[in-house]
Each structure stands twice: as structure tokens, then as C-alpha cells.
Amino acid sequence: MNEAIINSKKAVVSEIAEKMKQSESTVVVEYRGLTVAEVTELRRNLRAENVDFKVYKNSLAQRAAEEAGMADLTKDLVGPNAIAFGGDAVAPARVLAKFAKDHDKLVLKSGIVEGKVVDAATIKELSSLPNREGMLSMLLSCLQSPIRGVACAVKAVACLLYTSPSPRD
């Protein structure tokens, strides 16, 4: 085999392994049977969430998974697969699961979430969670709730004091 080809394959394996290590979540899907228009729509949806979606040769992806210490992932790297890498732990799972509901041909296989290999059921559970901004919004709402209650009580007392007739009238 040509030395240049071997070096380019090594570079691709290193790239995939690095993405697996760096991303918050990685999802492996089988896209057999999707039309070009459907794949384009899926890519557009993923790009909107800053998710990198690529098709790699399975042999290179398997070597990368082993290099990244995720050897359990290799069993699902058979057939026509694509891999989604996201900086947000929820975004790839949420977009892919939503798309899979409308398109039966897209099959969630497995993935990596925060350095651990997970199965399709875990990916589906993860997809029901809101994104990072949504979770922060929910936390902020919970933190503001007691303060809001105190503020409303103080305002109600102030309204009672100013609207009730004074004893001199």
C-alpha cells in the first residue's frame, strides 16, 4: 500500500478519535434508505445545533474507537453509519431522535456520552432532555421562585397599608 494513503488513513483515525474524546456526546446512526433530500434536511437540522455529522469508513471508525478507549462502540460500527459529534451533551441525541420519529429509516444505534459508551435506549432518554440553555433557564426559574414569593408578599402588604382607610378618617 502506498505510504501516502496509509498516512492519510492514520490522520483520519486520529481525527475521529480526537472528536470522540473532545465532544460531549457522540451518536452513531444507520442512515440506510434515506433519500438525499432527507439527509440534507438532517444535516441542516444538526448544523443549526452546532453538531458535526460525518460518514466515515467503518474500519477507520472502529480503529478510532479503540484508540479513544471506546472499544465497546465497535460492535455497532457495521453497515452504512454516520456519526454525529456535539459540544452539547443533549443536542445530537435530541435532533437525531426527533428526525428518527418522522423517518423510520434512520436508526439510532449507540453513542458516547461524557466518555461512556451508551446504547440506543439511553440516547432516546437523553433526547427528551432540554438543551443546556433550557436547563439553565429551569434552574434560574427555581432559584428566583422564593425571591419572587417574598417580593409579592411585600407588595401585597404595602398595597394593604396604602389602600386601607387611616384611623383619622
Residue 29: left (phi > 0), alpha (psi -120 to 50), or beta? beta
CB hemisphere CA count around 113 (13 angstroms): 17
CA-closest candidate to residue 86, choices 78, 77, 94: 94
Phi-psi region of 146 (alpha: psi -120 to 50; beta: other; left: phi over 0): alpha
Closest CA to 132 of 82, 98, 93: 93
Predicted TM-score (pTM) of the model is: 0.72
pLDDT, one tens digit per residue, over 124-169 is 877 776 666 666 777 777 777 777 777 777 787 777 777 756 555 5
> 21-25, 92-96, 135-139: which has the minimum mean pLDDT?
135-139
